[in-house]
Structure 1
Amino acid sequence: MNILVTGGTGFVGRHIVWRLSAEGHQVTFTGRNERAAQQVLAHSPGNVTWLAIDHASPEAGKQIHQASQGHQAVVHTAGLSSPWGRYHDFYSANVESTEQVVSACESQGVQRLIHISTPSLYFRFADCLNIDEDSVLPPPVNHYAATKALAEARIRESRIPNTVLFRPRAIFGPWDNTLMPRLLRVIEKSAVPTPRQGRALVDLTYIDNLVDAVLLALHQPLPARSVTYNLSNGQPICISDLLNEISTQFDLTVRKRNLPWPVLYGIACCLEGLGKLTPDKEPLLTRYSAGVMAFSQTLCLDRIRADLNYQPRVSLHEGIARYATWYRDQLR
């Protein structure tokens, strides 16, 4: 197949490019960072082409339209993922970029669009276990969730023959520059706040498992024109045990501080208030980040298992071990 991957210089996008390339597909990927693009090209085992496209630029729509010509499928990973930032930036990166991709797919006759969304859409300040894809969504917790919801809506309204929306939880692995690095910085610098004694359950997704799911969605028949799938390792773990696992794999001493939830929430509110004075700098703690540490959120995988025969092949323990090995190699 000829496949276009948007945001191929990012953490998720590059792994998808590499796997598709290894399996013999003709891959074109987009991204604005030339240095990152050269890294992707250097590690690609097959025929891969890079297009320098800034999805936030005025020219991006026309460029994506031209880039998608002759492609049977598009994997849309480009976007802005953060618990903090300006609404305009999230809207541009998550909604307008998706509109560009959808328009290009419709006009160029692309048969299948795979979109990487987020289970942050489910988040509320309460324990939520075994959430399925048809759950009623709460009001968005932040700009990221709000704009990803708008992006999903645009895809469902499209005329593309087949669309798949993945909601992968807490993706990590080699080249991750968000989840694990942030957690490691907190562990190394201070005590980790563990409200409610660290009993909150979390789901994580090792990157190879996500890429497996994308390949399944590209090749298998779908039960409907547009399908949404939860995605994770299917191994919920409590925050305290996760910190212990990271401590073991990275040979770090983790200090835990059992702050009451009202205290932690109050601190996050204060830091967000101060953060409005410098909106381009993320506060040390946001209400969303605090809530993730305090409240359980686990995903039901029944649909993706039934439709795509998805079975995570890299366990949580093995995934953290692989990431720790890669992380140490980068420091040498």
Structure 2
Amino acid sequence: MVERRILVTGGAGFIGSHLVARLLEQGHQVLVVDNYYSGSRSNLAHLISDPNLEIMRHDVTFPLYVEVDEIYHLACPASPVFYQRDPVQTTKTSVMGSINMLGLAKRTKAKILLSSTSEVYGDPEVHPQEESYWGHVNPIGIRSCYDEGKRCAETLFFDYRRQHDMPIKVARIFNTYGPGMRPDDGRVVSNFIVSALSGRPLTVYGDGSQTRSFCYVDDLVDGLMRLMATPHEVTGPINIGNPHEFTMKELADKVIDLVGGDATVEYHPLPSDDPTQRQPNITRAREILDWKPTVELAEGLAATIDFFRKQLTTG
């Protein structure tokens, strides 16, 4: 294996920090760039003594001048709580951040991967979602800063490819969970686990029949790295997620069962633009990347519950 100098934007985030750890394990030099808006230094604390790790506080909406061989562009708040807190900055991060990272990749001739999202499909009218589906997105809703920001980022990546023949990769990430999630990120898995561990009712929106598919973070990182390793002609977009679908009520019951105790479920009205179904078609990932998720939900939830239990005990 050839050692490379790899930039990970958003490397102090939940997924980014897991990716950084895996790259360091392989012996690469890793430069983490993060402005800590939703990421945390604590996610990298166990890696700080690695001599191949360099950490830079930087906002990707400003240009960056470094020398790298590969770029994983993960920078952008990905949970509604954070991306709706400053929606203009969220759009700027997706659009201007991508322009800056693509410019860096063009100058250094680096391979660059965009962590796009299943949110580009919006509230889908096609189920499960395959990459050829263009989506059903509200361009002026409260989630649009993220949904449309990522759609524009994909546009930029493919226009740079067409105009400059750049080596781009686009991954559409579906719901991901695991140790390292923030307890306050507003995602359903962390919400349910923290509520159950704290003895509070689990909040389910609507009647709990809306579905999601949940991919364990180790599987997700493996998919990203496999996509980055593909030859020049492979660009994506490629869905990376777990096609096994669960209703929100099923997930709540599973968390309550694994945590134990007497937690209950409370039902609240559905938030605006919340998609009713979300499930990836991963045929491309299977065929092109030889990838599929391997961690079952119960196994992944148990590891995530253990992480949060320790966090709540020590924090």
What TM-score, normalized by structure 2, do the two folds share?
A: 0.84
Is the 1:127–1:297 Cα contact (8 Å) retained in structure 2? no
**Map of 1:1-332 to 2, 5 A cutoff?**
1-33=4-36, 36-37=40-41, 39-40=43-44, 42-43=46-47, 47-56=52-61, 60-61=62-63, 64=64, 66-67=65-66, 69=67, 71-83=68-80, 84-110=84-110, 112-124=111-123, 128-140=126-138, 142=143, 143-158=145-160, 159=164, 161-177=166-182, 178=185, 179=187, 180-184=189-193, 188-190=199-201, 192-196=203-207, 198-221=208-231, 223-224=233-234, 226-257=235-266, 264-265=269-270, 286-288=271-273, 291-292=274-275, 295-332=276-313
**Could you report, residue by residue, the CA deviation over 1:92-147 in whole angstroms, capped at 9, with x for unpaired residues?**
2211111110111111211x1111111111122x6642110110222335221011
Q: Take 1:173 and 1:119, find their aligned partners in 2: how far apart are those partners?
A: 18
Q: Structure 1: which 5+ residue stretches go unaligned? A: 266-285
Q: Percent identity?
A: 20
Query: Closer, same or farther in 2 for the Cα pair 1:327/1:3, shift >3 Å?
Result: same
SS of structure 2 residue aligned to 1:50: strand
In the alignment, structure 2 segments of 5+ residues that lack a partner are: none
The answer on whether the counterparts of 2:210 and 2:248 sit within 8 Å (CA) in structure 1 is: yes
Greater Cα shift, 151-160 or 31-40 = 31-40
Q: Deviations over 1:207-233 (max 9, x none)?
A: 111110111112233553x21011112
Aligned 8 A contact 2:171 2:237 in 1: yes
Distance 1:248 1:113 in 2: 42
Looking at structure 1, the residues matched to 200 and 312 of structure 2 have their Cα atoms a distance apart, in angstroms, of 18
1:223–1:307 Cα contact (<8 Å) kept: no
Question: Residue 192 of structure 2 contacts residue 202 of structure 2 at CA under 8 Å; is this kept in 1?
Answer: no
SS at 1:117 equivalent: strand
Bigger Cα displacement from structure 2, 84-93 vs 170-179: 84-93
TM-score after normalising by structure 1: 0.80
Taking the aligned partners of 2:260 and 2:23, their CA distance within structure 1 comes to: 34
Deviation at 1:30, TM superposition (A): 0.7
Aligned residues: 292
Shift, 1:195, TM fit: 2.9
Q: Distance in 1 between matches of 2:309 and 2:85?
A: 30
Q: Which one-letter code corresponds to 2:156 in the other structure?
A: R
Aligned match of 1:282? none
Cα distance change, pair 192–182 in 1 and its aligned pair in 2 (3 A):
closer
Measure, in 1, the Cα distance between the counterparts of 2:24 and 2:17: 10
Q: Is the 8 A contact 2:34 2:57 kept in 1?
A: yes
Secondary structure of 2:33's aligned partner: strand
